[in-house]
Amino acid sequence: MGGNSPPSPAAPSPLRNAASSTAWCDATGQPPPNDIPSWLREALHVARATMLEAVDRQHDIILQEIARKLEDSATRAYLPLPGQPAAPARSQSSDQTLYSARDYAEGHLPRTLSEANNRPEMSHISERAMKGTSSTKNSAFIAAIQRRGGRPSRLSGVLSRPAWHPGRWVSSTQFDVFFCLLILLNTLVMGLELQYDGLQRGYELGYPSFDSPASELWPHAEAAFAALDVMFGVAYLIEILVRIAGTKKHFFCDATNWFDTSLVMLWLADLSLSQHMPLDSGMVRTLRLARVLRLVRLMRTMQGFDALYIMTTAMYGSLVVLFWSFMLLLLVQTTIAFCLTQILGGFFHAVDVPVSQKIEIFQYFGTASRAMFTMFELTLANWTIVGRSLQENVSEYFAMFNVAYKLVVGFAAVGIINAVFMQETFKVASSDDNVMMRQKERDLRLHTKKMKTLFEAADESGDGVIDLDEFRKIFELEEIRTWLSAQDLPVSNPDLLFKLLDDGDGGLTAEELVKGVDRLKGSAKGMDLEAFVMEHRAFAREVFSRLDMSERGRGIAADAASARF
């Protein structure tokens, strides 16, 4: 046809299968002359399947290696090395920290190849996980806790210290709790000592019902107070020495340590020089009361005191607003106080006014300092007493002034200041990182508690797994549907909800229910939408890549066919 000779009978058949095509290609190094599209499709399918299998196998190896390294790091943090004493038992908070690190790894490491393709940072994690010295393992474990918002500095700093080292004592919560309880006991003893002094003072003044001296009412109290004072002083001295031995130069970087040291030095001076140069021991004991503030600092770092942490954080962050509020009130009240003092100057020089009335008004507006204090009383205290004194002794027109001042300054201005102060306080509290973390943890605990209650109600068999029938049965209750709907969960289709919560094994565990409901409740989050868009784009790129490859295969086949014929 057209000058080309017909194919010889020995030419390869166009119905050659994929296996013979592949073998022919391996033997000759050239593509087979016939059935090129089928050969290309089969070759691409085999190559893609081989590549996916290898990548999935490597992906599973990486995940297992990272999980093993995290477990090993967590175990070494609490198991003693050979020749070292046993480490203290893990507390509940430590276990929660380790579980948080494990959950972080499980929630952030990709589980599928498509997810791994969209996570380029996994290559760096894999390289770090596969290197493997003990120091890098501990560093990776600590970094995982840091990403979860934990505070691993205490754990990482104590790992290399023996159990008897003072640094482990000082960094432990039990050490702080013990001395805070000691401070509370010291405060109680100080209150009893003040009560004893009050009994003696009332007897000396001849106050009614104080008929006996304190020594008769509380015998041997003075000796007991002196012994307890020495005991508390020695305990505080030991605390200072242990802290210096445990933290060394870092001890002097904390202002509270300087304050505690000065109190101990004053106590030692009072104890050693009391015979020759008596000091005011009452003042020294009073200064010890400032140690109670350490309780606030300790409770800020403990679970269960979130409200105290929010209040102290808000108070500290709103100092600027408090300062400017005070300056505004001071400016307004000082101006009005000076004006009233000038106006009432003629009243004090009037001849026909009784001296008793002048003295009464002088108590409130006689000097500039008295007038300023009176204006604070008019604004924030019982303003009617001052108002009636001005109305009765000076003029009835001051009644209108008092009412107008109370409405404008005492009600409107002070109300606005309170509103601004509260707004700034809430803003500071809501923007604090620790407050946000504690709020998130509290919401998570509440959500977990609710979901466990639902799980216990739905698991009628008691096997720890909810199947589809049990899930449907629990949704027959109107109270359950209303309760779940109030948590922004889709309750119209229980079967679909079960499939979304299930991981594919046909049953729901408590962990799956907690994590799945937390993921599904509410509307779609921005991160979910972004992940969907990324996966859609990746799928589109893969489809277009295959189409391009198919078009190139068709072109190769067409070129081969035209060259043959």
pLDDT in tens, 393-405: 898 889 999 999 9
Q: Are 215 and 197 in contact (CB under 8 A)?
A: no
Q: Which residues does residue 466 pair with via DSSP β-bridges, in sequence order?
A: 508
| Residues 212, 148 share a domain | no
564 has a pLDDT exceeding 80: no
Cα gap 266→256, rounded to integer Å: 15
Min mean pLDDT across 127-136, 275-284, 493-502 is at 127-136
Assign 204 to helix, strand or coil: helix
Cα gap 274→277, rounded to integer Å: 6
| Residues 117, 55 share a domain | yes
pLDDT in tens, 134-151: 444 444 444 444 444 444
Assign 15 to helix, strand or coil: coil
Residue 9 located in a structural domain = no
| Residues 153, 118 share a domain | yes
Residue 550 located in a structural domain = no
| Residues 420, 450 share a domain | no
The owner of tokens 């709907």 is 485
pTM of the entire structure?
0.46
Q: Which residues does residue 508 pair with via DSSP β-bridges, in sequence order?
A: 466
Average pLDDT, the chain: 71
Q: CB atoms < 10 A from the CB of 404, how many?
A: 10
Percent of the chain with pLDDT over 90: 7
| Residues 461, 420 share a domain | no
List, in sequence order, the alpha helices (H) in 406-525: 414-431, 433-458, 468-474, 478-486, 494-501, 510-520
Cα gap 106→32, rounded to integer Å: 48
The two three-digit tokens of residue 390, written as one number: 């001005």
Cα gap 230→8, rounded to integer Å: 117
Q: What is the CATH classification number for the domain harbouring 193?
A: 1.20.120
- Dihedrals phi, psi of 387, to nearest 5 degrees: -65, -45
Which of 377, 399, 431 is the endpoint of a domain? Answer: 431
Looking at residue 124, what is its pLDDT?
41
Looking at residue 156, what is its pLDDT?
47
- Residues 319-325 have a mean pLDDT of 86
- Residue 152 vs residue 356, higher pLDDT: 356
Greatest mean pLDDT range, 222-226, 310-314, 548-552:
222-226
Cα gap 401→91, rounded to integer Å: 65
> Residue 452's closest CA among 504, 513, 390, 376?
513
Cα gap 265→233, rounded to integer Å: 10
Min mean pLDDT across 23-37, 97-111, 456-470 is at 97-111
Residue 538 located in a structural domain = no
Q: Are 242 and 170 in contact (CB under 8 A)?
A: yes
pLDDT in tens, 190-216: 889 889 989 999 999 988 888 889 888
Looking at residue 468, what is its pLDDT?
83
Q: Are 433 and 427 in contact (CB under 8 A)?
A: no
- Dihedrals phi, psi of 523, to nearest 5 degrees: -80, 170
- Residues spanned by the domain of 457: 436-520
Establish how many alpha carbons lie within 13 A of residue 288's alpha carbon, considering only the half-sphere containing its beta carbon. 25
Residue 212 located in a structural domain = yes
- Residue 383 vs residue 494, higher pLDDT: 383
Looking at residue 524, what is its pLDDT?
56
Cα gap 255→252, rounded to integer Å: 7
Min mean pLDDT across 294-308, 346-360, 506-520 is at 294-308
Q: Which amino acid is at 201?
A: R
Residue 59 located in a structural domain = yes
Cα gap 188→14, rounded to integer Å: 102
The owner of tokens 């700093």 is 157
Q: Which amino acid is at 505?
A: D
List, in sequence order, the alpha helices (H) in 77-133: 92-108, 113-117, 122-131
Q: Which amino acid is at 299?
A: M
Residue 41 located in a structural domain = no
Give Cβ neighbours of residue 538 (< 8 Å, ≥ 6 apart).
114, 117, 118
pLDDT in tens, 239-257: 888 888 888 888 888 777 7
The two three-digit tokens of residue 58, written as one number: 């490597």
Residue 565 located in a structural domain = no
| Residues 441, 423 share a domain | no
| Residues 241, 194 share a domain | yes
Cα gap 505→468, rounded to integer Å: 11
Cα distances from 200 to residues 190, 191, 195, 219, in angstroms, run 15, 14, 9, 12
Which of 379, 398, 431 is the endpoint of a domain? Answer: 431
| Residues 285, 255 share a domain | yes
- Residue 20 vs residue 263, higher pLDDT: 263
Residue 261 located in a structural domain = yes
Residues comprising the chain, all counted? 565
Which of 431, 465, 489 is the endpoint of a domain? Answer: 431
| Residues 207, 133 share a domain | no
Looking at residue 122, what is its pLDDT?
40
| Residues 296, 325 share a domain | no
**How many domains, the chain?**
4
| Residues 252, 192 share a domain | yes
| Residues 343, 405 share a domain | yes
